[in-house]
Structure 1
Amino acid sequence: MKQRRVLHFLLAVGAGLCLFGAFAPVDFWPAAFLGIALLVMSLSGRTWFGSFGLGVVAGCAFFIPLFEWAAVASGILIAQIALGFAEALFIGVLAVIWQGLMRGKRTGANVALTAATMGLTWVAMEQLRSELPWHGMPWGLLGFSQVDGPLVRLAPWGSTQLVGFGVVVVGVLVARFLSALSKVQLGQGVIAGASAGLILVLSMFLPLSTSADSYLTVGFVQGIIPDESKLPAGQSRALTVTQNLVTATKVIDGDDVDLVLWPESASDRDPREDDEARSLITEASERLGVPLLLGTQRYINGYRYNDYVVWSLDQSISGVYSKQHPVPFGEYMPYRDFFRKFTPAVDLISTDMLAGSKPAYLDVELKDSTVRVATPICFEVADNAIVSEAVRAGAQLIVVPTNNASFGKTSESAQQFQMTRFRAIEHGRTAIQVSTVGVSGVVEPNGVTRAVTQPWTEDAQVARVGLRSELTVATRISEPVRIAVYTGGAALGLLAFIQLARRR
């Protein structure tokens, strides 16, 4: 009995590590299928309490290494562990639901039905943890790990939910294949393995968007964040960041581009209020002679907004988008007084960020036309609703401004670039991620990347990108899919608990 428990524990750990391996920095997409398979196998014959524990173990092995950047950003390891453990609790509850589904006379007897019910409950739990608590943590959704795999072609039809569902279905079939082989049930093993392979092969034939309505030439600039400890006394770090962007932008000829992009936090000193910051941006704008999109901060009554703005040719700001989804414990501190009892690090966030209320897009007046650009800021690219809303509103191009400086040389920026690639495929739009120090680059709607920069390297590049207006199915039905996933997941969760109670 003890050896069996150890085996199931090791299977759960292996499951979590395989799921982690599907994301950057390992970035081996087939590992997601094995991760799901090992999680299913670890739950075989377990009690509901044992299932919860194994789910938490698998979740910790998955999320804690995935959130390495949380420790670097906060300066304390406990932040990484606490965030990983909190997300692992969702996997623990899901494992109990899966145990109930596997024990059902109908949901557990037929492998196809088992795979489908497990897939639906997985994406329902992913959706839930993406929204709760404090707007959730949509990091580590299985769909994002598949940008180089065939299942990503499901993205234009059902976003992260359908791709994640496909990963779980294939993973459950792999589990049945491995289980059948261990029991020398070759017939069942062949059927399960062939079914998994057929799903992957058929996915490869789904079409992706290619043709564009028109084209735009865009310059994007990755500046460098200076080491504050090495700056001369009295020199502003924020102004130095802006100056570095001005300098890097000089390699771009305004006659060759229609639009130039700077990243999030390009000017943490608000140019609407700060003359020095305004002077630097004006210098770059006048030389280019084209609109400039850049990130800045706006301070009001002891709070701040994270803005992405359109700097027009007349040196005015003609459009503002304020980040709707500030990151808890990163950009604002919930229950500050309570958490201060455990660590003084809460006061590293000296000014809490407020959430904007307008959709994530900006209208940019070019020399002879107007283009609507979706502008999810940083972590918002992980939010299905924010990006979908902007594209449905007519955005023809996706721009993801981000500032990855706080995360050091971790894989946070590469993980985010996976999400940017997914959004390009999902919505049939060219997407450009523009970072201060991380990964910047252009992603075509078929997932192909080009003009990709190296992290922590000053760079400025120019790319001709397509503008598109046709909406994918996923873009059109994102909200109905969300409701359907919650409804189906809740119904199956209730059924699973009823079946557990009956078996007891």
Structure 2
Amino acid sequence: MAVTVPDSELGKPEKPQRARRAWRPWLLRLVAAAASGFVFYLSFAPRSLWWLAPIAFAGLGLVLRGRRVWGGLGYGFTFGLGLYIPLLTWLQDFLGPEVGVTPWIALSAALALYIGIGTALGTFAARLPGGPVWMAMLVIATETPRAWWPFGGFPWGRVAFSQPEGAFVPLASVGGAPLVGFAVVLTGFCLATVIPRLRRRAWRPLVLPAAGVILPVVAGLALWPTIDTAAQNGSLTVATVQGNAPDIGLELENESATVEANHLAQNQRLAQEIAAGQVPKPDLVVWPETAVTTVGEDPAVDEAVDSIGVPALVGTLDHSGTQPRNTVYVWNPGTGPAESYSKRQLVPFGEYVPARSIASLVTPFVDQTKDIQAGTTPSVMNVAGTRVTAPICYEIAYDYIAREGVDDGAQLIVLPTNNAWYGHSEMSYQQLAMARLRAVEHSRAVVVSATSGVSAIVQPDGTITASTSEFTAASLVGRVPLRQATTLSDRLGAWTEYTLVGVALATAVAGMVQSARTRRARAKDTRATVAE
């Protein structure tokens, strides 16, 4: 049977089948990168799916196999978007619909770009022997500048913060958050190397990448027996005061009187429960961040502390200076405020506004705010006969705040926080996961006191012995061990992080040099062939 070809098609070269389908692998890789990022998001609290994190990085590793620098940048960036867009949805609870999605998406994209840079550099390091090791280092290395720049950085969503429990968290006692994160990513990238070799039944070159999958997990599990929770210098009965707050996002700024009244009322209920013998009398009471507004003194708080008769740590927005300060006071019965710590790591666009003229284009409330003054001294205070470090809210995401306090003799970590700004979101649970990691990292109990939840008592192995719900008025009373031993992570300090960053950059440079040499060699061979 004859086939008639339309005149319009005559003379046109037929497109090869492969060319017509060339876009498909690219699109599949892009979808796989985004899906892997979303799987990584699912490993974060409030879910207890820590084991999804290495699986997510295995997916990213498979996508990156054989990619060049621009592919590494694009797929890594897409992976980051798959993580940060759902992880940071609580920003919308904070800003409200009238501000729009621009800040949320812009921040997610900025954080995703850091991952993209790490994977782009990783395409050079992947060409070296032990490629998955160097690639994992580069991904984790990007968390260091992300905690510095811009505007003081934003460490939220670090790999280690997905691991408040499970096989990897004991590594925090050795190398802190950087080592935990490196172990997770290394496991995933090595798994991405193992899978294709298993499909090809390439058994001999399977040994080293298989070791990279197994050893981090085995090392973490082997360290579990070394995580000590016993009291070394006695113990302390600690109570938290969670007074609750209206769930109104940014409008909470105008409800400080309501927040203070709520906490005074909850403190009174706690005092009545103690007097009735329903709960044991604490040695220390902890109020949340900015639970009250003071000028360094407050008769109502004096009365509240006196009603229980033990020292309290009271979170205040202190207006006693030229600028307000986010401060935690040691408040003693009978004598009032004593030592204090003012928050040093302020939240950009929340507690202070950098580049106000630019910020006002996307955040119309900027002109109505006043910058909070940052503190200058380490977070350590003497209260209830012990030394306590009290990183405030957002500061728990930064390694140096709690570490400095422990180095200065703190035997207990207290985390006063105000998460009422963020509605019924995952933010409070994400922050609690950080506190659990810090407990293992420093071998200290952590007492979380939140304005509207989640308050919790965390043991030195990261386990939660008591916690509250969100947007309820409640108190916790529990016994915590006081510990003075320092972990290897404390003794190494930031050197673990800086060493990892240094080695990562060195391997990226080595990979670039090797790549340049390979290109020159190929060009030389091409010229020789043409000459023949």
Corresponding position of 1:315: 335
Matched, 1:87 2:104: no
**Paired AA for residue 452 in structure 2:** V
CA deviation vs aligned residue, 1:13-54 (integer Å, no higher than 9, x gap): 122112111102334111110111111111122231122111
Q: For residue 509 of structure 2, what is the aligned residue in structure 1?
A: 494
Task: Letter of the 2:238 partner, please give it.
Answer: V
Q: Is the Cα contact below 8 Å between 1:245 and 1:262 reproduced in 2?
A: no
Q: 2:156 aligns with which of 139, 163, 169?
A: 139
Aligned to 2:5: none
> Contact 1:361–1:375 (CA<8 Å) still a contact in 2?
yes
Deviation at 1:387, TM superposition (A): 0.9
Do the aligned residues in 2 keep the contact of 1:251 with 1:460 (CA within 8 Å)? no
Q: Which residue in the other structure is 2:418 paired with? A: 403
Q: Which runs of 5+ in 2 are unaligned?
A: 1-21, 520-532
Equivalent positions of 1:192-271 (< 5 A) are 192-193=209-210, 195-206=212-223, 207-213=226-232, 214-226=234-246, 236-253=257-274, 256-267=281-292, 269-271=293-295
Corresponding residue to 2:473 among 451, 458, 462: 458
CA distance in structure 2 between the partners assigned to 1:384 and 1:246 by the alignment: 32
**How far off is 1:341 after superposition?**
3.0
Percentage of matched positions with identical amino acids: 34
Equivalence for 1:355: 374
Tell me, in whole angstroms, the C-alpha distance in 2 between the residues paired with 1:343 and 1:288. 43
CA contact 2:296–2:320 (8 Å) conserved in 1? no
Question: Which of the residues 290, 299, 302 maps onto 2:319?
Answer: 299
Cα pair 2:419 2:453 within 8 Å, conserved: yes
Q: Which residue is equivalent to 1:60?
A: 81
**Code of the aligned partner of 1:357:** T
Distance 1:9 1:183, change over 3 A: farther
State the distance in 1 between where 2:255 and 2:410 align: 42
CA distance in 2, matches of 1:496, 1:23: 33
Gaps of 5+ in 1: none
Q: Does 1:329 align with 2:349?
A: yes
| Aligned match of 1:177 | 194
Q: Residues 235 and 422 of structure 1: is their aligned pair in 2 closer, same or farther, counting only changes over 3 Å?
A: closer
Seen in structure 2, the aligned counterparts of structure 1 residues 53 and 453 have a Cα distance that, compared at 3 Å, is same
Query: Counterpart amino acid of 1:249?
Result: L
Question: How has the CA–CA distance of structure 1 residues 11 and 499 changed in structure 2, closer, same or farther, with 3 Å as cutoff?
Answer: farther
TM-score, with structure 1 as normaliser: 0.91
How many angstroms apart in 1 are the aligned matches of 2:470 and 2:259? 20
1:419 aligns with 2:440: no
| 1:234 to 1:288, Cα distance in 2 relative to 1, 3 A | closer
Partner Cα distance (1:337, 1:234) in 2: 27
Largest Rg, 1 or 2: 2
- Which residue number corresponds to residue 141 of structure 2? 124
Task: Please report the RMSD computed on the Cα atoms of aligned residues, expressed in angstroms.
Answer: 2.4
| Number of aligned residues | 486
| 8 Å contact kept, 1:375–1:398 | yes
Distance in 1 between residues matched to 2:403 and 2:166, nearest whole Å: 22
Q: Is the 8 A contact 1:306 1:323 kept in 2?
A: yes
Task: Tell me which residue corresponds to 2:528.
Answer: none
Which amino acid in 2 is paired with 1:403?
N
CA 251–98 in structure 1, closer or farther in 2 if over 3 Å, else same:
farther
Q: CA deviation at 1:252?
A: 4.6
- Residue in 1 aligned with 2:360? 340
Q: Does the 8 Å CA contact 2:122/2:135 hold for their aligned counterparts? A: yes
Q: Distance in 1 between matches of 2:399 and 2:443?
A: 14
Gap change, CA 1:227 and 1:380, over 3 Å in 2: closer
Deviation at 1:123, TM superposition (A): 2.1
Question: In structure 1, what residue type is equivalent to 2:288?
Answer: P
C-alpha contact (below 8 Å) 2:229/2:481 kept by paired residues = no
Provide the C-alpha distance between the structure 2 equivalents of 1:281 and 1:127, rounded to a whole number of angstroms: 40
Using a 3 Å threshold, how does the CA distance of structure 1 residues 300 and 86 change in structure 2: closer, same or farther?
farther
Instruction: Tell me by how many angstroms 1:242 deviates.
Output: 3.5
Q: 1:263 to 1:480 in 2, by over 3 A?
A: same
User: Counterpart of 1:388?
Assistant: 403
1:411 positional shift: 0.4
In 1, the alpha carbon distance for the partners of 2:287 and 2:78 equals: 41
Contact 2:264 2:304 in 1 (8 A): no
CA change 1:502–1:475 in 2 (3 A) is same
Q: CA deviation at 1:247?
A: 3.5
